[in-house]
Amino acid sequence: MKPYFETKLGKLYNGDCLNFMQEMEDKSVDLVLTDPPYNLNYTGRGEIANSFDNDNLDDSAWSVWFNFILHQTKRVLADNTAIYIWIDWRHYPVVFNLMQQFYDIKNCIVKLW
């Protein structure tokens, strides 16, 4: 797995997180920032329509998929590090319940429009 960008401060990888994380060693990551599909069947704005994998699942399948993501992030994150997850307010209760199985949640950041 080759870094997309590298400096003396660290490495940045660009790709499907599930593929990359499965190749990473346990406790080898200091920070996870993720903005996964919100399961809203988002198609984008403007002339070009976008679609995202795992963005149009039934709630049970989406929860299983997201649970796998959390399992992998917990495995690769080093002790005393952080994870930040962007999520739509409609799925926050589900994500919060899933996260409690893996993490001791310290805070929630809310963006007001």
Q: Is 74 exposed, middle or buried (0-12, 13-18, 19+ CB in 10 A)?
A: middle
Collapse the DSSP code of 34 into the 3-class scheme (helix H, G, I; strand E, B; otherwise coil) and give the result. strand
> Is 84 inside a domain boundary?
yes
Distance CA 99, CA 71 (A): 9
Residue 47: pLDDT band (50, 70, 90) is low
Of 16-25, 47-56, 81-90, the one with minimum mean pLDDT is 47-56
> Is 83 inside a domain boundary?
yes
Residue 20: pLDDT band (50, 70, 90) is confident
Decide which of 53 and 99 is more confident.
99
Q: Is 86 exposed, middle or buried (0-12, 13-18, 19+ CB in 10 A)?
A: exposed
Decide which of 104 and 44 is more confident.
104
> Is 113 inside a domain boundary?
yes
Collapse the DSSP code of 64 into the 3-class scheme (helix H, G, I; strand E, B; otherwise coil) and give the result. helix
> Is 18 inside a domain boundary?
no
Number of domains the chain is built from: 1
> Is 1 inside a domain boundary?
no
Give yes or no for residue 16 having a pLDDT over 90: no
CB hemisphere CA count around 13 (13 angstroms): 17
Range of the structural domain that residue 78 is part of? 23-39+53-113
> Is 30 inside a domain boundary?
yes
Residue 11: pLDDT band (50, 70, 90) is confident
Give yes or no for residue 98 having a pLDDT over 70: yes
Residue 25: pLDDT band (50, 70, 90) is very high
Residue of 90, 73, 66, 85 lying closest to 24 (CA atoms) = 73
